[in-house]
Structure 1
Amino acid sequence: MIYRILLIATLLFSMNYTVAQEDSRPEIGFDLAMGFSKNGGNFGIGPKYKFAAMNPSIAWGPSLRFQHVWANNFQTGQSTSYTIYGGGAFLHYRIENIIYLGAEVEFLHTPINFTFVSSPSWVPTAFVGGGLSKSWDFFRINAGLMYDVINHNNSPFRSSYFLSKTDGSGNKALLPLIYRFSFFFEI
């Protein structure tokens, strides 16, 4: 299954839908993650830098990730907080001014160990997916769904998975699918 997705993505990325007359401009981009409740919350940002390319349909470059999480247990009076950080790379293929296909890989330093905080470790994530892409004069929004093909047990994105499935025994399993909204500005 994963090999089919990667093969299709590779074929689509290699196609040239737009003939570029000149280099596309570099861009600074970011995606935000946040959630708040009376028991805690999280706030994160994922900055990206898009290199200039001969084909303006291709957006690729390095990415960083910073996320701060805090929790308060009012019954025990204990609270905790921790920071997740790391880096990686992204590759988006923008088809016309309508949709995009993308792959994003990051290695994140996180203290999450399944459902409790422990000694930090490096966790890989690899998302593939796509969605809608709309550009204005100097600004672009990508809004889509991304599937984590690694789905590591200690992934800090697990709390963002929004779908689950139930097997025949009644056990629920999270599907590694997240929403992703990215904003890019030409520089």
Structure 2
Amino acid sequence: MADPGQAFGVSSGLLFGLAAALGSGLLIGLERERHKRRGTHREPAGLRTFTLAAMSGALAQALDVPGLVPVGALAITALAAMAYLRSRGPGRGLTTEVALLVTYLIGALCVTAPLLGSPAAIVMTALLAARTRLHRFATQVLREEELHDGLLLGALALVVLPLMPQEPLPWLRA
């Protein structure tokens, strides 16, 4: 069966990647738009901005011009920094600005690996949507001892476990 996208000189893989980037941008943008409505201050980016950021990343990747994706990331970073400086105030975080850059990068990823980019967008959206629950967990549920124990377990898993030998030691065989 012929590739349906080839009629326009575009592979179906590229079309799938662009569609994944569009969906990712819309998903993240919807969450940020809903967050904007709950807050008291005006957020600099919403549904359309996040969708455009994801599509910009996807198109920069699809054009396959060396250095275009990093230059686009710098441009998004500059725009996010300007928006942050313009709207800073008490209690103002960086989440939306950082999310805008990550959305651009997810858009670029969707072109080369849509099966990785789309889940990344879903995980990011879930993380953004769980703000209140995560803050409550960190400040009211998690005790200091539990945090310390979790850090110790993580250190053991990430530092000690890779140093362990793959094969049984000859002098420890039964």
Tell me if both proteins adopt one fold, taking TM over 0.5 as the criterion: no
Q: Which has the higher helix share?
A: 2
Report which of the two has the higher share of strand: 1
The alignment's TM-score, normalised by the length of structure 1, stands at: 0.28
- RCO (CA 8 Å, sep 6+): is it higher in 1 or 2? 2
